[in-house]
Structure 1
Amino acid sequence: MSVFSSLRSSLVSLHSSLLPAQEEPGLWRPTRRTHLLHLGVAVFLLVFAYLFTGLPHEPVPVGLTVLSCIALPVFSAMPVVGMLLGVAATWAASSVEQDTGIVATLAVWSVISVLIARGCPRWIVYCFAYLVAVPVVWVAARQGQWVNGFIWIVLVGIPCVVLGELLRRQRDRANENVRDRRQALVRQRRLIASELHDTVARDLAYAVMTAEQLKLAHPEDDDLVRGLDAVIEPVRMAVGQLRRSLQNITATDNDDAVLLSSVTSPRPITSVLADARRVLEARGVSLEVEGTELFQSEGVLTPGMQQQVLRVVNELIDNATKYTSADGRVRITVETNGHALECMVTNPVDVNPSKDVALSSGIGLEGARRRVETLGGELVTNQGGGRWAVTFTVPVRGAWQNA
């Protein structure tokens, strides 16, 4: 029941972690409502300039004012065209001899505000602001009123820039929250995948191996053989599907630090060795163990390192149990030299490996390697002469304190 309870709780957590996230962060794309809002602002500026300012009601001033106001909705749909139209209208309004009013030369600051708010590169935005500010100051200086040019920039230009920066800061903060949430979901999926592999997938694999050994031990009992066949095949398929799903979950994630986290404690080394010895003995394989008491010595490993090292050792023992050839010998040796703890697991393997790959995914060994490397150690595998050997070393407690 513990296997299915663990699977159920893990699937619930996995389901919650796969819920749709917020919108992808990046360059903000305006909606139709945004386009209509920009059009409304342009109409408001045009009406304001025509009715409430000293704009001469002549074709040239009115035309340049309309052109300046149109730049905003055009920019909303086509940023480059709108930006160039705004620059052209501002320079034209500043170059003609007639009075064109304040809107014709200052409406373009609304475009600058939107540019900043949308997250465009600042160097482009402020170069654009410089291009539209120069003609205003130049015309005012030519008329002997250069101070008025600066005053209008301070009263209109700077508030538009500040408004754009505030909107940009708010959007950047929202995007940062989205990225943080996505990273948290990635870590949660990695952790769930690690827990499923270390608990449910391992226990189901042991169940399959135990059932197969029982079937070989009692071939004369037809009822037992049929019952075991009815159990073994569905469980093997379930383990294969589970492991493939775990591979897909961890395929694009490379956050090694999450491997140091765990929601459950690893199985005691004595329990793992007892299960492995029972399965191996049924296959005629002997298990030799030396120095495993070092895993539980507080003078060698810190409590946190003990948990991670035990997870690595459990994975190596499970692999040796699954792949050891019949009538072989599995040997586990653990020793320390005062600076590092070294563990070696060796086992014979068949020259022609089993075609049953449902009980293996490669996630466990790769996860063990990442755990060891995260702890500052090294894991090395070697295969040759019909034997498979895995050796890993991690710094001991004194080495960490002296570092």
Structure 2
Amino acid sequence: MENGYLGWRALARRQWPLATALVLLILLQMVEWRGLDPGLWWQLPFDLVLLVLAVVSPRRPFDAALAAAVAILSGTVILHFLVRERIGGDIIPTAAGMAMIAIVVRQASRGRATAGALALIAANVIALSLDTNIWDDYRPIDVVNAGIVFAVLFGVAVGTGLYFRARDRERRQAEAASVAAAQQAERLALARELHDVVAHYVTGIVVHSQAAQAIADQDPEAARSVLPIITASGHEALTAMRRLVGTLRGTEASPTSRDNDELAAQIKRTVEQVGGPVRLDVQLSDPVPPELAQSVIRLVQESLTNARKHAAGVSRIDVDVRTDNDTVRVRVADDGTGQHSNPAGGSGGFGLVGMRERVELLGGSFSAGPTGSSGWTVVADLPLGG
């Protein structure tokens, strides 16, 4: 959990309030030390070391905590023997220790956080006990009061670290959930696009191949006339797959413009690729945005694919695409018997699910179901402003 990756600029933005506070405390102490025991000034180098360790501790919190504990102990022992009549009053070890306890509890693993916090607390307690001034005129109540103050201060430091540790954990969980949701949305979008593109073109190839096989013995010339259609469908499938792969790899630019004439022509080509008795009616009086036009084409593709794959006894398919009242409506209806045929390659059952998801993501409405005693109708209404 330790944030060793924290850069120096990020460290400066995060730690400047602590650095400022410790510098101000050191300056206030220097003002108070004027005219007092000169030995107090020997504490200044150790205070500066603690200041630096506290500021950089987010990079290596456990190591900084141990180093600070050693600095507090060594400074206290040296000054204890160097200045025997030393007057206390150095609050930097306590202030820096509180800051580093909060940081190590927040960032380090539980074991290291416990060890680092205990090391800093022990170092401060030992430093207080070696201060010759506190034992003058010894009274138990003074030790009790000092213990209570220390317990409150370091309890606040530990509590602060635990609070931010919990906040960091919640933020990581929220980020992980957000990433998982985005990945799931991308997978669903990719699944819809793959299903629409592959199923549409492959279905057209299968339908025309079956038709060619059925008439091959009776009319070889008619059967051969279907081969260019199959070849064209194969090329369209390859082109669509390359475009999709390019989009995924970030090398294929999204369409920036698509006028209604181009959209109508694309819908017509889509219908021709499927083949069969299809009646097409396209009336686009309002401009259709490029991203919406692509979805319209995919809806027509998938609806025709479903009709060819699943419906039995289809003699006519009506495809109607029109704009009205700031909405583009896609309606595809067949007159099949309602008895499902066995589609080539089986059915994954994802066509209707993908169409519904696509329409709902664009803020539209979708319905699909049988029409009376026979036939199947798909209707999608997409807002032009969506």
TM-score normalised to structure 2 length: 0.48
* Bigger radius of gyration: 2
TM-score normalised to structure 1 length: 0.47
